[in-house]
Amino acid sequence: SQTIHQWPATLVQPVGSPLSLECTVEGTSNPNLYWYRQAAGRGLQLLFYSVGIGQISSEVPQNLSASRPQDRQFILSSKKLLLSDSGFYLCAWSAPGQGGGETQYFGPGTRLLVL
Amino acid sequence: SQQGEEDPQALSIQEGENATMNCSYKTSINNLQWYRQNSGRGLVHLILIRSNEREKHSGRLRVTLDTSKKSSSLLITASRAADTASYFCAYNAGGTSYGKLTFGQGTILTVHP
């Protein structure tokens, strides 16, 4: 069966510090991968998605970047965090080759607090 | 971005009652999905309904889709305290939005025992 992992679960970082959040998927090959941010009590904002290694699409221009160095690894990064980067970050995957927006499976999330 | 809209924003009911949540969107869609999120956790997929379907059932869940009105509803029957969570609709708009879902702002459901 497929599983998705995210770490760390919680992170407190000072403004201006770098960020690296990692997401890995097991049990599937060539998944579509997604990074979302959720502000408190709000819906999900899609940040990045990837349909393959090295293929990243950015949805919102901002202080963050994403990379996919391996088939089942998706990394969210920042060189200098801003206060507004605080939030709940969720990684998700969906089956490959699905042009119709099929079911997405979410990781447990990382809660980031920038102080 | 074209976010879905959900209402009500919050719903408080007693155990055993039915809960209905609504979702509206603005574009043509390939499918619409409903997800559930317990506090501080990831989202869990509940049900997917395609644009050519009008109603779908899964256990105590019933989803309807009206593409002419660009709206969907999620009905949870005989609610339980364990149904307390946030519920989100999400749709795939097709075309160039390959694989991407647009999420609504969610409905917070509280079921009192």
Structural domain of residue A25, as residue ranges?
3-114
CB contact A96 to B (< 8 Å): no
Sheet holding B55-58, edge to edge: B5-7, B19-24, B71-76, B61-66, B55-58
CATH of the domain at A97: 2.60.40.10
Taking CB atoms and an 8 Å limit, are A42 and B106 in contact across chains?
yes
Looking at chain B, the whole-number percentage of residues with pLDDT higher than 90 is 78
For B45-89, write each residue's pLDDT tens digit.
999 999 999 999 999 999 999 999 999 999 999 999 999 999 999
Phi, psi of A73, rounded to the nearest 5 degrees: -125, 130
**Between β-strands B71-76 and B85-92, what pairing exists: parallel, antiparallel or unpaired?**
unpaired
pLDDT at B2 > cutoff 70: no
Least confident of A3-12, A78-87, B19-28, B95-104: B95-104
pLDDT (average), residues B27-39: 93
Q: Which domains can be identified in chain B, with CATH numbers? A: 5-112 (2.60.40.10)
Chain A residue numbers touching B4 (CB-CB < 8 A): 43
CB contact A49 to B (< 8 Å): yes
pLDDT at A98 > cutoff 80: no
Q: By the 8 A CB rule, do B51 and B72 touch?
A: no
- Nearest Cβ partner of B92 from A44, A92, A101? A101
Chain B residue numbers touching A108 (CB-CB < 8 A): 41-42
Q: Which residue from A94, A11, A81 is spatially nearest to A49, judged by alpha carbons?
A: A94
For A104-113, write each residue's pLDDT tens digit.
999 999 999 9
Name residues whose C-beta falls within 8 Å of residue B89's C-beta, 6 or more positions apart in sequence. Answer: B4, B6, B21, B23, B25, B32, B33, B34, B35, B72, B74, B103, B104
Total domains in the fold of chain A: 1
pLDDT of residue B1: 45
For A44-88, write each residue's pLDDT tens digit.
999 999 989 989 988 886 789 999 999 999 999 999 999 999 999
Q: Which residue of B has its CA nearest to A50?
A: B99
- A74-106 residues labelled b (16+ CB within 10 A) or e (exposed): bbbebeebeeebbbbbbbbbbbeebeebbbbbb
Q: By the 8 A CB rule, do B112 and B17 touch?
A: no
